[in-house]
Amino acid sequence: MPGHDPLNPLSGLIGRSAELDRLRETVRTGGSLLLTGARGSGRSRLLAAGAHLARAAGHRVVVARGATAAPPLIRQLLLRVRHDLPGLPGRTGRHALALVGLAGGVPPDDEARLLADVFAALNRDRPTVVVADDVDRVPAEPAALLAGLGGPLLLAGDGARIPALLAGAPVIELPPLTDRDALRLLESREHRPVGGRARVEILHRARGNPAALLELGCGGPLQAAFGHEIAGLPEPARRLLLHLAAAQPPADASTVQAAAGPVGDHPWAAAEQIGLTTRHGDVARFTHPLARDAAYRSGTAHERDRAHRNLAAVLTAEPGRRAPHLAAVSSGANRALAADLESAAAAFRARGNLYEAAGALQQAAERSSPASEAARRFLAAAADAGDLGAVDWTLELTAAVRGLTADETLTGAAVAVAARSLSRSGRQHEAWAMVTTAEGSGAAVALGPAIAIASLTGRTEHRRGLTTLLEAAGPATDPLLAALARLVADPAQRGGRELCDDVVVPPPSAQLDDARRFRLGVAGSLAYFEDRPRLAMAFLRAAVDVPAGRRPSPSSAETVAVLVDVLIDAGHWESAERYADTAGPVGMPMAAAHLDSLRAHLYAMRGDTAEAERLLRTTWARLDVEQNRAIHVRLSRSAGAAAHAAGDYQEAYRHLRSAFGADWEPLEIVTAGRGIAELAAAAARTGHRDEARLAVRAVRAQLGPAPTARMRMLLHTADALLADDDERAEHHFRAATTDPAGHQWPYDRAMARLHHGTWLRRARRPRDARPVLTAAADVFTRLGAVPAATAADRELRASGQDAGTGSDSRLSGLTAQERQVAELAARGLRNREIAERLFISVRTVGAHLHSIYPKLGISGRHQLS
């Protein structure tokens, strides 16, 4: 793969950073490790990486290969360390050399004891790491030899078949790759690059298995190995596997057997014995996607067609399940088959199988008449493909709709689906060009994605273009959607406030269809832009929360990102974290980037700057900044918060400055405007007051004469921080901290109070500063905003008030987060539990504990209580 250096197993690894970290730690501590996982999951590659890390650390590495009996294994291991044998003490080295025929003499009879003595002596010199792959195939006696070596072992094999003597080592079970990493690996294929529907098919069928991602559609060594195993089975078993491969998953074992014909008394035993298939109840499945591919390819074209016909004959009473098999062996228009395929698609969609649903609908469209019916089915297929993130496939399907009909409603819907798919993938300019083609009633359908595009790009021409599109859509446009379009086009227009009040929040038990959820999402977005957090949270939660057992809509990820933003601003940080972690956007990289930018901001505000910076780096690396300015601005604010938490105010200013253009116009008004106080604070500390005043002026001009209560508070805070005289500063600080509406944004108001209290203390008014700083510190502590709480405590102490808790005076030397970590550790929580409780990384917890012990004058966590 590109970027892979065959001499360095660490290069080109995708999606295994956590496992590599665990390998590094194991090598550092001299421990043992067992790598398990499905075939093709990368066990051998990671094992080679572990050997590389051990050599780099100065360890002696001994690789055992292919030994299936004890005497050959003993000789193989001794030959691999032959250059070290002459230096061993006593007669150990001479006996070992004699055993492998490199010296004269008679070796002892107990070869196993000699091997153990050799490795014990080698380990006294320096760590000797024994590396062995496929240990699931090692018989009991050689396994006992490996276990008896006494030094560190790096092993890999099938976890279900590891010999008991080797199963005691700590285990890493390699999971399937995430959707994002699977896509990265698929795109790295050097041979036969794939796109369109083929790419989605491989991602769907591979289920995150690295070997399957690289070999499906083009073959490879693992697929060949499965083919060899299948070829060795008796004919009835091969015929059964061909029918199972042809069946649509999940496949009923009884249905497959009936279609395959006579297969004997124990038809599945041969395949199960060699690990090709499993059964749970009556459901049969292949253990590996490449095994299914190999089984299907094992038959001739005639045999595959016959398998589909046999399955269709057995499924006569189930038209929806029968239809895909008839479609596989027929072509041409067939209205009855098209209807059955559409029914099959509905069943697939109900199970969450959007790939099969889109494929069945495309087949239905290709067999449909008249053209309007075909266009309708192509459009439905495009919607499913779009929710999969399959941009190229979606564009192919929507192009088919526009080629079949001139109906403005259908073509407008096709434009909307295509534009939404392009926008979700970050291709905003193409998406905007698409929505501008909508005409008449189609413009109303395209208005929703157009709003999302203009919000993401922040470009003036896109925002103003919403007005043109709104005029084309006509008076029948949903008033909520129209108000949102006008607000994005011109943030000074405040026409949505009354409309929000008219929307009723449904009870949690209400059954909501997709249209109602979409409208609630629009109302929530309108409330978000209008800075009405309570209404926004109610609408957006109703839009994204689904009853237990029902799958959320894939498109809800975009709404979840807005909800997480609102929850952070409203001080509900734990809820924000839960929603951000459960959204799991698939095929929607911009929604994922938006959520990651919000996670980074949470990490920064909590003081975990290392994790925030890691997330920022990886998110920026996959973002086209020019096309997705809104996400870039959010990342800039998060980076500014992380730099501020680390005390690097120049870096904070640099990041916050990047949310504005060369002329100080905000790249995107909403998020940049909400960061104006942060920019002013960084500017005041770094000598950039004059420049920051230009940013304040630009934001104020964009918002018009009637900004929201929140923006008034933030602008007053910025004006106070940048003021030239005390009287103006005092006026603006009081306006920022005393507005009754400010309680809706606890962090923003507490930060305004921290700045005010700091200003009062430095103006030699400590008595006035203390209550302001105390109020700020209380909010920061409640939120878990560790850097801000630490700053407030520091200012309180400087003002003459003891900010401590009255406990041991040594605790006053701890930061706010160190104190939280110490208290939780004293209660007996483990590092991982502390990390989950405080929403920081396990590594950060360990770093804090290493800092805490010397400050408290203790040697370990057992003394914390």
Q: What pLDDT does residue 660 have? A: 96
pTM: 0.78
Predicted confidence at residue 810, as pLDDT, reads: 59
> In whole angstroms, what is the distance from residue 374 CA to residue 370 CA?
7
Q: What pLDDT shows up at residue 683?
A: 96
State the DSSP string of 212-240.
HHHHTTT--HHHHHHHHHHHTS-HHHHHH
Q: Is 153 helix (H, G, I), strand (E, B) or coil?
A: strand
Query: How many angstroms separate the CA atoms of 517 and 522, rounded?
Result: 9
Q: Could you give the 3-state DSSP secondary structure of residue 570?
A: coil
> Does residue 795 carry a pLDDT above 60?
yes
What confidence tier does 547 reach under pLDDT thresholds 50, 70, 90? low
| Band (401; pLDDT cuts 50, 70, 90) | very high
Give the pLDDT mean for 644-667: 95
Instruction: Quickly state the pLDDT bin for 261 (edges 50, 70, 90).
Output: very high
From CA 643, how far away is CA 604, in angstroms rounded?
8
For residue 429, the number of C-alpha atoms closer than 13 Å in the C-beta half-sphere is 5
Per-residue pLDDT of 137-177, as tens digits, reads 888 888 888 888 888 999 998 887 888 888 888 999 999 99
**Which of 368-382, 793-807, 826-840 is predicted least confidently?**
793-807
Band (807; pLDDT cuts 50, 70, 90): very low
pLDDT grade for 1, boundaries at 50, 70 and 90: very low
Task: Express each pLDDT in 487-540 by its tens digit.
Answer: 999 988 877 778 888 888 888 878 888 889 899 999 999 999 999 999 999 999
Q: How far apart are CA 492 and CA 142, in angstroms?
A: 77
Three-class secondary structure of residue 192 per DSSP: coil
Separation in Å, CA 109 to CA 141, 332, 372, 589: 16, 77, 86, 64
Residues 254-264 have a mean pLDDT of: 92
DSSP letter (8 states) at residue 666: B
Strand-pair partners of 285? 278
Residue located via tokens 């070992």: 96
Distance between CA 818 and CA 811 in Å, rounded? 9
Domain boundaries, the chain: 17-174, 491-587, 596-705, 812-863
Residue 829: partners with Cβ closer than 8 Å, 6 or more residues away: 837
Q: Is 250 helix (H, G, I), strand (E, B) or coil?
A: coil
Q: What is the pLDDT of residue 364?
A: 96
Residue 327's alpha-carbon distances to 85, 243, 292, 371, in angstroms, are: 68, 16, 20, 19
pLDDT at res. 503: 87
pLDDT digit string, tens, across residues 623-634 = 999 999 999 999
Q: Report which DSSP code applies to 86.
A: G
In the prediction, which pLDDT does 192 show?
Answer: 58
Token output for 781: 């502590």
pLDDT recorded at residue 548:
62
Same CATH topology for 17-174 and 812-863?
no
DSSP type of residue 839: T
Structure tokens at 686: 């770094």
Judge if the upstream peptide bond of residue 370 is cis by omega within 30 degrees of 0.
yes
**pLDDT tens profile 91-106:** 898 999 999 888 888 8
Write out pLDDT tens, residues 179-234.
878 888 888 876 655 677 888 888 888 999 999 999 988 888 999 999 999 999 99
Question: What's the 3-state SS for 599-626?
Answer: HHHHHHHHCCHHHHHHHHHHHHHCCCCC
Taking the CB of residue 58, how many other CB atoms lie within 10 A of it? Answer: 8
- Residues 759 and 778: beta-carbon distance below 8 Å: no
**The domain over range 17-174 is classified in CATH as 3.40.50.1980:** no
- Please state whether the peptide bond connecting residue 547 to the residue before it is cis, i.e. omega within 30 degrees of 0: no
The total number of residues written for the chain in this structure? 865
Note the pLDDT of residue 2. 45
What is the overall mean pLDDT for the chain? 89
Query: What percentage of the chain's residues is helix, strand, coil (to nearest 5)?
Result: 65, 5, 30
Please compute the mean of the pLDDT values over residues 730-739 and round it to a whole number.
95
Residue 555: pLDDT band by 50, 70, 90 thresholds? low
User: How would you classify residue 90: left for phi > 0, otherwise alpha for psi between -120 and 50, otherwise beta?
Assistant: left
What percent of the chain is modeled with pLDDT above 90? 61
Q: CATH number of 812-863: 3.10.20.30, 3.40.50.2300, 1.10.10.10, 1.10.3720.10? A: 1.10.10.10
User: 284-311 in b/e burial notation, b at 16+ Cβ within 10 A?
Assistant: bbbbbbbbbbbbbbbbeeeebbbbbbbb
Contacts 24+ apart (CB under 8 A), 362-367: 362/397, 363/324, 363/327, 363/338, 364/337, 364/338, 364/339, 365/338, 365/400, 367/327, 367/332, 367/333, 367/334, 367/335, 367/337, 367/338, 367/341
Q: For residue 534, how many other CB atoms are within 10 A of its CB?
A: 11
Token representation of residue 73: 């294994």
Say which residue, 609 or 546, is predicted with more confidence.
609
What pLDDT was estimated at residue 805? 40
Of 5-19, 501-515, 661-675, the range with the lowest mean pLDDT is 5-19
pLDDT band at 441 (very low <50, low <70, confident <90, very high): confident
Is residue 85 classed as helix, strand or coil in its secondary structure? helix
Q: Tokens at residue 240, please?
A: 């059964």
DSSP-assigned beta bridge partners for residue 61? 129
List 174's β-bridge partners, or say none: 37
pLDDT above 90 for 640 = yes
**pLDDT tens, 559-601?**
899 999 999 999 999 999 888 887 554 568 898 899 999 999 9
* Chain position carrying tokens 């320096």: 126
Separation between Cα atoms, residue 603 and residue 611, nearest integer Å? 7
pLDDT at 166: 84
Q: In what order do the strands lie in the sheet with 251-252?
A: 251-252, 283-286, 277-280
Residue 727 token pair = 């009287």
**39 has a pLDDT exceeding 70:** yes
Expressed in angstroms, the distance from the first to the final Cα of the chain is 53
* Cβ atoms within 10 Å, residue 249: 14
| pLDDT surpasses 70 at 457 | yes
